[in-house]
């Protein structure tokens, strides 16, 4: 057992971090605000980086890596709030032609853990294919046949959404087991994005607290602030351990209970992202409550990610059910 991030994974992380630093700085995100269409050029570059083909076998044109590698990549995308239906498109690689190369943009609805109306689909305007994840299988739907209305004011200014009045069955492209597997993978990738948010909000708040002076000194020196930041760090590390464990368990199911590991990851990363985003706003004081400081983007994205592939409560209950059946 060597649970550390491998050298190859470090290289993957560095590559994506450098890419995101150059390609999706916060100024770029501001320009994308409220734009309904996806930046297809960025999407193509993400595909070239292997973000979607990462887990596809090499003989199918993929990179042939596992879930733990994908988690490393998605932590980085989450850190920078990279927009787009990242999780669905990666899940679709191998299921939908063109998803792996970024030519086909795939979105979806997880009806396994969020079965109830209203149905809201992210990035609908840009989707070539919609996947519906039902308990009994995976369904492929042409977005043109869905009657969807754009929502004028989405919660996350970087996540445009449509409201879909009613759903259609579509073409069944996978059974119940496939749907369950996709749900586990989707929850893990989403947890990784949320871990990225937990990390970057901690770093943003720490950096601000070191530079912001009140009462003649940096506020980071006050224990009230220091302890908020320390708790943010702990939440991030707790989530990291759980997300890594989910990835490693999906890659090697003999080392643990896959469902439990994934639920622990989504629950702890969900809590880490939510509480850290809130604390990040608090540490920024009045500026945290403005549109000027990017802290609000993180909290809003967290609400988007909390409501896909199972809320914290959904996964907590799932773990409890597993415990009770032991």
**Binding residues for other proteins, per CB under 8 A?**
1-6, 9, 68, 206, 209-210, 217-218, 220-223, 226-227, 229-231, 233-234, 237-242, 244-245, 247-249, 251-252, 254-256, 260-261, 263-264, 267-268, 312-313, 315-321, 323-324, 326
DSSP 25: -
Structure-token pair, residue 110? 């997880």
Minimum CB distance to other proteins smaller for 174 or for 247: 247
Minimum CB distance to other proteins smaller for 255 or for 287: 255
Structure-token pair, residue 71? 């988690």
Contacts of 5 (CB under 8 A, 6+ apart): 13, 72, 244
Minimum CB distance to other proteins smaller for 111 or for 238: 238
Cα→Cα distances 29→163, 208, 293, Å: 24, 20, 12
How many Cβ atoms sit within 10 Å of the Cβ of residue 201? 31
Contact 104, 98 (CB under 8 A): yes
**Shortest spacing between CB 51 and other proteins, in angstroms:** 18
Please identify which residue in the block is written with the tokens 């879909």: 164
Minimum CB distance to other proteins smaller for 233 or for 303: 233
Minimum CB distance to other proteins smaller for 140 or for 315: 315
Minimum CB distance to other proteins smaller for 78 or for 102: 78
What is the distance between the alpha carbons of residues 89 and 187, in angstroms, rounded to a whole number?
14
**Shortest spacing between CB 194 and other proteins, in angstroms:** 13
Minimum CB distance to other proteins smaller for 12 or for 112: 12
Q: Which helix (H) or strand (E) holds 178?
A: helix 176-211
**Shortest spacing between CB 247 and other proteins, in angstroms:** 6
Minimum CB distance to other proteins smaller for 166 or for 224: 224
Cα→Cα distances 247→50, 129, 257, 262, Å: 18, 27, 12, 8
What is the distance between the alpha carbons of residues 240 and 272, in angstroms, rounded to a whole number?
10
Please identify which residue in the block is written with the tokens 């073409």: 171
Considering just the CA atoms, what is the radius of gyration of the chain in Å?
Answer: 19
- For residue 6, is it left (φ>0), alpha (ψ between -120 and 50) or beta? beta
**Shortest spacing between CB 216 and other proteins, in angstroms:** 12
Largest interatomic CA distance in the chain: 65
Nearest to 91 by CA among 157, 6, 182, 156: 182
Minimum CB distance to other proteins smaller for 148 or for 225: 225
**Shortest spacing between CB 288 and other proteins, in angstroms:** 18
CA 243, 249, 255, 259 torsion: positive or negative?
positive
**Shortest spacing between CB 37 and other proteins, in angstroms:** 36
Cα 90 to chain centroid, rounded? 11
Nearest to 90 by CA among 72, 110, 107, 78: 107
**Shortest spacing between CB 211 and other proteins, in angstroms:** 11
């Amino acid at each position: 057992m060597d649970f550390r991030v491998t050298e190859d994974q470090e290289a993957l992380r560095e590559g994506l971090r450098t890419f995101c630093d150059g390609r999706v700085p916060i100024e770029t995100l501001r320009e994308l605000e409220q734009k309904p269409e996806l930046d297809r050029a960025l999407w193509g570059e993400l595909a070239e980086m292997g973000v979607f083909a990462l887990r596809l076998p090499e003989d199918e044109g993929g990179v042939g890596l596992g879930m733990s590698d994908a988690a490393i990549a998605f932590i980085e995308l989450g850190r920078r709030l990279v927009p787009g239906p990242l999780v669905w498109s990666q899940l679709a690689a191998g299921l939908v032609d063109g998803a792996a190369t970024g030519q086909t943009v795939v979105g979806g609805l997880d009806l396994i853990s969020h079965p109830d109306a209203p149905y809201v689909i992210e990035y609908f305007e840009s989707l070539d294919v919609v996947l519906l994840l039902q308990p009994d299988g995976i369904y492929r739907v042409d977005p043109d046949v869905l009657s969807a209305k754009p929502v004028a004011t989405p919660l996350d200014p970087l996540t445009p959404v449509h409201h879909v009045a009613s759903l259609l069955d579509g073409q069944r492209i996978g059974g119940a087991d496939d749907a369950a597997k996709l749900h586990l993978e989707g929850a893990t990738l989403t947890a990784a994005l949320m871990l990225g948010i937990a990390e970057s909000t901690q770093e943003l708040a720490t950096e601000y607290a070191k530079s912001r002076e009140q009462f003649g000194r940096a506020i980071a020196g006050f224990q009230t602030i220091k302890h908020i930041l320390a708790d943010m760090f702990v939440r991030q590390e707790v989530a990291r351990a759980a997300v890594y464990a989910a990835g490693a368990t999906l890659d090697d199911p003999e080392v643990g209970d896959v469902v439990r590991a994934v639920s622990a990851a989504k629950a702890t990363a969900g809590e880490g992202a939510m509480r850290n985003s809130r604390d990040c706003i608090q540490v920024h004081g009045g500026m945290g409550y403005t549109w000027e400081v990017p802290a609000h983007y993180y909290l809003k994205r967290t609400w988007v990610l909390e409501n896909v592939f199972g809320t914290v409560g959904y996964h907590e209950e799932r773990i409890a059910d597993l415990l009770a059946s032991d």
